[in-house]
Amino acid sequence: MAFLTLITDWGLRDHYVASFKGKLLSRSADLGIIDISHEIDPFNTLHAAFVLRNAYSAFPTGTVHYIGLDGAGNSAQDEPGRDYLIVTANGHHFVGVDSGIFSLLLGEEEKKIHRLPIDPIRTGHREVQDQLVDVLIKLCTGKHPRQLGLEVDHLLPSFFAQPTVDPGGIRGALVYVDGFGNSIFNISRELFERERKDRSYSILLRRANYTVRQIMHDYGSVETGEIVALFNQDGYLEIAINRDNASKLLGLKQFDTLRIEFHD
């Protein structure tokens, strides 16, 4: 029996998550269900892709990941032409509506794609959920995706925001704000070190009209209430405030930009 993870925008205030888990456990009482998050911003594929991309590889090969990024299960009905898919990559199975999430999540990774015979236009929401539960249980018990759907070769395109590089610096975008208000940008440590070439640098936060002149190792490297830049555990540049909420205090929002300038 494989593990099954859930990442959704359903929230925890209502019954949606509990009902879905109940259906799964009614079919397989020993199923190992792990919640990645149910607090994804509604319909925000970039948010979901960032969280899942940084989480899924920690799970064993063969894990099944259900992406319920559809306002409690309705997006395929609201937007005809979007299929339910099983996408297999790096030994993991991802199941959900093709809203562009798979392209964001997996990029150029080698993958196999199978379209599920689920028609949300002709089928009610309850029946769609029952069909999804059936697919997830079968995947978790060893069924091959080709036994569940038709192999196809196309995903809805969508692209993870990429930083831009010029001889004098790097421009990046804010892609995720975590629960502490730490603002995470799409600039990796690897890219920074490659372009820096041992030069000095400064980080310009345009919205906040603020300059950071050093990347630290941890939050405690600055005094309480001070701004700190660091590379987080996933290797991405993070702007934070020690023991406070950088996103709120600095007014930072998704897709805001910053620039790292290198000085010769």
> Containing H/E element for 165?
strand 164-166
Q: Which residues contact 124 (CB under 8 A, 6 or more apart)?
A: none
Whether the Cβ atoms of residue 146 and residue 198 lie closer than 8 Å to each other: no
Statement: residue 194 has pLDDT above 70? yes
Domain membership of residue 157 (yes or no) is: no
Domain that holds residue 122: 3-152
Task: Give the pLDDT score at 144.
Answer: 98
Task: Give the pLDDT score at 80.
Answer: 52
95: nearest Cα among 146, 151, 135: 135
Question: Quick one: pLDDT band at residue 72, thresholds 50, 70, 90?
Answer: very low
Q: What is the pLDDT of residues 214-251, one digit of tens each?
A: 999 999 999 999 999 999 999 999 999 999 999 999 99
Q: What is the pLDDT of residues 123-168, one digit of tens each?
A: 778 899 999 999 999 999 999 999 999 999 999 987 667 899 999 9
Domain membership of residue 214 (yes or no) is: yes
- 172 and 72 together in one domain: no
Of 152, 173, 208, the one marking the end of a domain is 152
- 144 and 51 together in one domain: yes
Going by their DSSP bridges, the two strands 257-263 and 169-177 should be labelled as antiparallel
Q: What angle do CA 164, 167, 171 make, to 5 degrees?
A: 25
- 148 and 198 together in one domain: no
- 103 and 213 together in one domain: no
Residue positions counted in the chain: 264
DSSP string, 7-63: EES--SSSSHHHHHHHHHHHH-TT-EEEEEES-PPTT-HHHHHHHHHTTGGGSPTT-
Q: What is the pLDDT of residues 246-260, one digit of tens each?
A: 999 999 999 999 999
- 216 and 118 together in one domain: no
Of 152, 180, 210, the one marking the end of a domain is 152
Statement: residue 187 has pLDDT above 90? yes
- 139 and 48 together in one domain: yes
Considering only 23-32, 74-83, 115-124, 220-229, which range has the smallest mean pLDDT?
74-83
Q: Structural domain tally of the chain?
A: 2
- 183 and 211 together in one domain: yes
Statement: residue 71 has pLDDT above 80? no
Average pLDDT score over residue span 54-81: 78
Domain membership of residue 158 (yes or no) is: no
- pTM (predicted TM-score): 0.87
Q: What is the pLDDT of residues 202-218, one digit of tens each?
A: 999 977 688 999 999 99
Residue 9 sits in a domain whose CATH number is 3.40.50.10790
Of 124, 152, 180, the one marking the end of a domain is 152
